[in-house]
Chain A
Amino acid sequence: MMTDSQYLEILKEKQPFVSSSVSDPKDHIFPDVPSINSDVYHSLINLIRNKSQHPSMPLAAVVQGEAGDGKTHLINRLIRNREKSKQNTYQVAYIQPIEDPDQTYTYLLREIVTNLFVPLDNNRPATIMHGILANLVKPILAEATFNDKNLKKRIHTIIETDPVNIFFDIQLSPSMWTKIESKLKNQFSTLCSASLIHVLMQLRHSDRLFAIIEWLKCTAIDAVLAKSIHVTPSKLLTIKAQEQAARDMIKDLSVLIGSCHYPLLVCFDRLENLESGDQIRSFGRMVEFLVDDARAMMPVAFCRGDLWTNILKNQLNSHVVGRLESNQFELPGCDSEQSLELIASRLSWAYGHFNHNYFPFPKDKLDNAFRDRLRSPRVVLQKANMMLRDYISFVPRPIIEQLHDQFRNQYQKVLNTFDRFSPERSRIKRALRLFFEIKDFAVDISTGDKYIDFLYSQEISSKKGCVIIDLQHHHKSVGASLKRGVDSIKNNPDAYVLYIRDERCLLPAKWKSTNAVLNQFKKLGGHFLMLDRNEAAQCYAIALMNYAIKEGDISVETSAFDMEKASIESFLHFLHEYIGHEPFSLFKKIADILQLRKKKVPGGGGGGNGRKQNQIIMNKTLECLRPQPMMMASTGHILDYLTADNIKTSQDEMMRVIKRFGDRFVIHQSKTDTIVMIKKEWINAQP
């Protein structure tokens, strides 16, 4: 029997209320509380049922909820319950926000294919795509005749129990596979391309998986890869033709998925990251296409309510809005009963048993604390975390360190499941853009050139250049990218041109002319960077964490009593401090190429006079804010107040002090200004 203090030790160690975000919907760390958002979940399940019964019915949905209401968690529940049921009733594809609107369908296809190749479980190499194919092969095998009665019996047992093992547990003769392939081709002769069936039938050869995935993504592949899966090498396509090829592939995949009668739920999450009108419209095109042309796929947008009502709806065409709003759901927040259920489930998770009676919280205290309003699950957890401070002493670590921990977790997660992160240009681009921005470079992404990802320049140092991220497998495409690099240097000899590849996208020695261009590029002073596994994982982790922060999905403890969403500024500050260090070797390499020195944070030393000045600025800021409506004011207003009081300071120094006293102030970025507000505990407290 454990003592109270031992229980408290467990809570101190496990911190059950600290993490309230689901940064990856495929993670199942915390227990699910089915009663929360259960109506919306069951409505989605009904919708899926309708879709599987009537695949031609054009269906789409939008789920609205603010940050922390459980949007990503709901996707997590859909995935978790499907896995638990062991029945293929539906599949889920989780789509990260699009970066490059010129590649709408190419991107959609890449994301769908990546999701279709997620392993069904950890014990075998079978993926969702194997499951789909097994369902197609199953009836053919059931009717086939076999001389070997034992084999027939085994096949029937596998078909009945776990059809995906057809590809792993039995050895069929090559002629039998050929027969199955030709029957499937006949079955789908007018509906989808024969080469798709031909390629998919090779899924039983695990060594061909990489080539199959790249071919399905309509990536330009060279003769060697093409030969390995018995297809003709692909031609280099224009963007328009590439987009058309991607549309055709999605339609074909949809036909195959539809014939299995379980729809693919295409979940668009983190739509806050759609920054431009073009990106928003690109999202709209994906939805419209899926509804109208890929009938086995059902798009569901998970979106912040305010964003949907006041921004996205105004920029999407009425057709898309109408489609999505035909099934509109709202995540309603937790009442007191659900709040307590959530707290109980986290305590059970920490203690490892259910018999805790809410320890250390008295039940009546919880009842009182949670009965006064509806709260999002995240706010419930944050409040519980604050209440826990009455029982456990706790000093939060600096925000930057907490973000470092979160980053390490994300990075480790990517590394552990690296095969699921196939080379993705837009993620690497996002990470590199952030790097250049925190190093005070102006970044221009509107290059109008499909090979060049962005241009960068810095006025003070007069440094400039461009970044070319090339993940193609076709020698002509690689050659064209490199040629663009060569031309860039020739046109501008002072420019730092970076050509970046993922080491999974090889540059074989036998591509003689391509290697010759590479040598010319290097000779002219171009910089070739091949990302190793760690460096690629860092880029993906930075991009994914950036999406999560923008969504408001990452919380940090700002004081012993308070948790709040990590701001994009604190994320950039973290990157600024850590990005030049090990293990960020890619960024260190780039910093070395550009001969960048680590910028000193002004006033970082913090001598005695500095501390006194900081105290004065902090006190005067409190004094300025207290009489203001809602105790908030713009930084311009505060600076004027300080200046009027003869306090010599700059906007930068003042902001640094305000951030340093993060327990007293909250900083909000409004559309027009940065706003500072006093925190609850400091409304009346004396400094």
Chain B
Amino acid sequence: MTEVEQIIVNLLDKEGKDYMGLKKLTNHKHLRDLLQIKKDADRPAIKKKLSPHITNAIRITNGYRGLYVTRNMSDTELIISSLGKKTPLGTLKKNFPIQTTKLVQMVSQMIMSGKLHVSFSDSGSVTYLKVNDAPTEINKPQSKTTSQETEANDDCQKMKEAYDAIGGGQSYVRIYKIREYLDWPKERFNKTLEQLTKELAIQLHAGDPSVLTEEQLKNSYVDDEQQICITISWRKK
């Protein structure tokens, strides 16, 4: 963790938050000195100066009010940690570090996968969200007694379910979408993908990276020949 990251993480800890507007960083004198920015620096200028200091503790996101700095958690984790017992969707999206369209898309996927519970006000005008405490098929904790092989097979099955849910019967499903949907640790996701590839159950496709954003590319997959793969097709029925 760089010195700048350490200071920002401390600031977030102090405020009990997972994210803050980028502009807020200019309130901290030591940070201003380290980043060589002025108090009135705008967000793009702060981003430019901050980027070289980022390794893996924080990240910069584009959200409701422009640029934010967030802890390096997945978007799903950010949503879950921001929800109370009964949070209206309208409140969640305000000042959230993920843009509204993407946020709504992610929330829908989380509802479909059983991670979130949804309820409505009597008039139906307000949508409330809360984290679903009952473990779902996808985030259910693994039994300690389950053998590694069974776990791996379960993961393959879960990946197929995610593929079907996102693809809706179509092939060539984008890997970053499955990754976001499953929200597994990187190693677990990649291992499952590699196993399925080896079993010839799926085919990895390079596709055209120019249709994805940098973040989406980073959430895709690089194979052992250092080739970026952006979609998969399920081959074994």
Q: Is the CB of A374 within 8 A of B217?
A: no
Q: Is the CB of A666 within 8 A of B226?
A: yes
Instruction: List A631-677 residues whose CB lies under 8 Å from chain B.
Output: 631-632, 634, 636-637, 640-641, 643-644, 666, 668-673, 675, 677
Question: Which of B49, B203, B209, B216 is the most central at the interface, judged by chain A CB atoms within 10 Å of its CB?
Answer: B203
Q: Is the CB of B231 within 8 A of A305?
A: yes
| Chain B interface helix/strand/loop/mixed | mixed
Tell whether B200 is near chain A: CB-to-CB under 8 Å. yes
Q: Which residues of A are found within 8 Å of B235, using beta-carbon distances?
A: 332-333, 374
Q: Is the CB of B226 within 8 A of A670?
A: no
CA distance A641 to B206 in the complex (A): 28
- What is the size category of the interface that chain A forms with chain B? 35 or more
Question: Which of A372, A374, A677 is the most central at the interface, judged by chain B CB atoms within 10 Å of its CB?
Answer: A374
Q: Is the CB of B198 within 8 A of A668?
A: no
Q: Which residues of B are found within 8 Å of A330, using beta-carbon distances?
A: 171, 233
Tell whether A64 is near chain B: CB-to-CB under 8 Å. yes
Q: Is the CB of B51 within 8 A of A637?
A: yes
Q: Is the CB of B51 within 8 A of A640?
A: yes
Tell whether B22 is near chain A: CB-to-CB under 8 Å. no
Q: Is the CB of B218 within 8 A of A632?
A: yes
CA distance A528 to B3 in the complex (A): 66
CA distance A498 to B27 in the complex (A): 59
Number of residue pairs spanning A and B whose beta carbons lie under 8 angstroms apart: 122
Instruction: List B199-225 residues whose CB lies under 8 Å from chain A.
Output: 200, 202-214, 216-218, 222, 224-225
Tell whether A130 is near chain B: CB-to-CB under 8 Å. no
CA distance A422 to B30 in the complex (A): 70
Choice from A636, A671, A672 contacting B51 with Cβ under 8 Å: A636
Choice from B174, B213, B218, B225 contacting A310 with Cβ under 8 Å: B174
Contact A304 to B208, CB < 8 A, known contacts A333-B235, A373-B198, A671-B213: yes
CA distance A506 to B203 in the complex (A): 54
Q: Which residues of B are found within 8 Å of A589, using beta-carbon distances?
A: none
State how many angstroms separate the Cβ of A524 from the closest Cβ of chain B.
Answer: 43
Chain A 321-348 interface 0/1 with B at a Cβ cutoff of 8 Å (1 = within): 0000000001011010000000000000
Q: Which residues of A are found within 8 Å of B167, using beta-carbon distances?
A: 309
CA distance A272 to B208 in the complex (A): 10
Tell whether A67 is near chain B: CB-to-CB under 8 Å. yes
Q: How many residues of B are counted as interface, with CB atoms below 8 angstroms from the partner's CB atoms?
A: 40
Q: Which residues of B are found within 8 Å of A631, using beta-carbon distances?
A: 222, 226
Tell whether B48 is near chain A: CB-to-CB under 8 Å. yes
Q: Is the CB of A634 within 8 A of B214?
A: yes
Tell whether B52 is near chain A: CB-to-CB under 8 Å. yes
Q: Which residues of B are found within 8 Å of A670, using beta-carbon distances?
A: 209-210, 212-214, 216-217
Tell whether A679 is near chain B: CB-to-CB under 8 Å. yes
Instruction: List B116-140 residues whose CB lies under 8 Å from chain A.
Output: none
Q: Is the CB of B197 within 8 A of A307?
A: no
Contact A306 to B209, CB < 8 A, known contacts A637-B52, A641-B52, A683-B226: no
Tell whether A678 is near chain B: CB-to-CB under 8 Å. yes
Q: Which residues of B are found within 8 Å of A637, using beta-carbon distances?
A: 51-52
Contact A310 to B211, CB < 8 A, known contacts A305-B231, A627-B55: yes
| Beta-carbon nearest neighbor of B177 in chain A | A310
Chain A 300-313 interface 0/1 with B at a Cβ cutoff of 8 Å (1 = within): 00001111111100
Choice from A309, A671, A680 contacting B210 with Cβ under 8 Å: A671
| Beta-carbon nearest neighbor of B215 in chain A | A672
State how many angstroms separate the Cβ of A682 from the closest Cβ of chain B.
Answer: 9
State how many angstroms separate the Cβ of A564 from the closest Cβ of chain B.
Answer: 9
Tell whether A630 is near chain B: CB-to-CB under 8 Å. yes
CA distance A632 to B220 in the complex (A): 12
Tell whether B172 is near chain A: CB-to-CB under 8 Å. yes
Q: Is the CB of A309 within 8 A of B172?
A: yes
Q: Is the CB of B205 within 8 A of A305?
A: yes
Choice from A66, A636, A671 contacting B211 with Cβ under 8 Å: A671
Q: Is the CB of A374 within 8 A of B200?
A: yes
Q: Which residues of B are found within 8 Å of A372, using beta-carbon distances?
A: 197-198
Tell whether A552 is near chain B: CB-to-CB under 8 Å. yes
Q: Which residues of A are found within 8 Å of B51, using beta-carbon distances?
A: 636-637, 640
State how many angstroms separate the Cβ of B227 from the closest Cβ of chain A.
Answer: 8
Tell whether B230 is near chain A: CB-to-CB under 8 Å. yes
Contact A678 to B226, CB < 8 A, known contacts A372-B198, A640-B52: yes
Chain A 367-387 interface 0/1 with B at a Cβ cutoff of 8 Å (1 = within): 000001110100000000000
| Beta-carbon nearest neighbor of A305 in chain B | B172
Q: Is the CB of B205 within 8 A of A66?
A: yes
Choice from A310, A636, A675 contacting B48 with Cβ under 8 Å: A636
Q: Which residues of B are found within 8 Å of A629, using beta-carbon distances?
A: 56, 218
Instruction: List B174-202 residues whose CB lies under 8 Å from chain A.
Output: 174, 197-198, 200, 202
Q: Is the CB of B204 within 8 A of A373?
A: yes
Q: Which residues of A are found within 8 Å of B171, using beta-carbon distances?
A: 64, 305, 309, 330
Tell whether B228 is near chain A: CB-to-CB under 8 Å. yes
Q: Which residues of A are found within 8 Å of B202, using beta-carbon distances?
A: 374
Q: Which residues of B are found within 8 Å of A632, using beta-carbon distances?
A: 217-218, 222, 228
CA distance A209 to B58 in the complex (A): 70
Q: Is the CB of A306 within 8 A of B52?
A: no
Contact A67 to B213, CB < 8 A, known contacts A305-B231, A310-B174: no
CA distance A304 to B206 in the complex (A): 11
Chain B 61-96 interface 0/1 with A at a Cβ cutoff of 8 Å (1 = within): 000000000000000000000000000000000000
CA distance A332 to B49 in the complex (A): 46
Q: Is the CB of B217 within 8 A of A675?
A: yes
Q: Is the CB of A669 within 8 A of B198?
A: no
CA distance A66 to B235 in the complex (A): 14
Tell whether B153 is near chain A: CB-to-CB under 8 Å. no
Question: Which of A632, A634, A637, A683 is the most central at the interface, judged by chain B CB atoms within 10 Å of its CB?
Answer: A632
Instruction: List B152-181 residues whose CB lies under 8 Å from chain A.
Output: 167, 170-174
Q: Is the CB of A677 within 8 A of B228?
A: yes
CA distance A467 to B198 in the complex (A): 54
Q: Which residues of A are found within 8 Å of B231, using beta-carbon distances?
A: 66, 305-306
State how many angstroms separate the Cβ of B41 from the closest Cβ of chain A.
Answer: 15
| Beta-carbon nearest neighbor of B217 in chain A | A670
Q: Is the CB of B214 within 8 A of A311?
A: no
CA distance A88 to B230 in the complex (A): 42
Q: Is the CB of A373 within 8 A of B52?
A: no
CA distance A163 to B204 in the complex (A): 49
Q: Is the CB of B52 within 8 A of A309?
A: no
Contact A308 to B208, CB < 8 A, known contacts A632-B217, A632-B218: no
CA distance A631 to B197 in the complex (A): 22
Q: Which residues of A are found within 8 Å of B204, using beta-carbon distances?
A: 373
Contact A669 to B172, CB < 8 A, known contacts A306-B231, A632-B217, A640-B52: no
Chain B 6-45 interface 0/1 with A at a Cβ cutoff of 8 Å (1 = within): 0000000000000000000000000000000000000000
CA distance A332 to B203 in the complex (A): 8
Instruction: List A47-101 residues whose CB lies under 8 Å from chain B.
Output: 64, 66-67
Q: Which residues of B are found within 8 Å of A335, using beta-carbon distances?
A: 200
The 18 listed contacts between A and B (C-beta, < 8 Å) are A272-B208, A305-B233, A630-B222, A636-B48, A637-B51, A640-B48, A640-B49, A640-B51, A640-B52, A669-B209, A671-B212, A671-B213, A672-B213, A675-B209, A675-B214, A675-B217, A677-B222, A680-B226
Interface residues of B (CB under 8 A from A): 48-49, 51-52, 55-56, 167, 170-174, 197-198, 200, 202-214, 216-218, 222, 224-226, 228, 230-231, 233, 235
Other contacts beyond A643-B52, A675-B209: 5, CB < 8 A = A637-B51, A640-B52, A670-B210, A670-B213, A670-B217
What 6 pairs between A and B have smallest CB-CB spacing? A305-B172, A680-B226, A374-B203, A66-B205, A668-B209, A669-B210
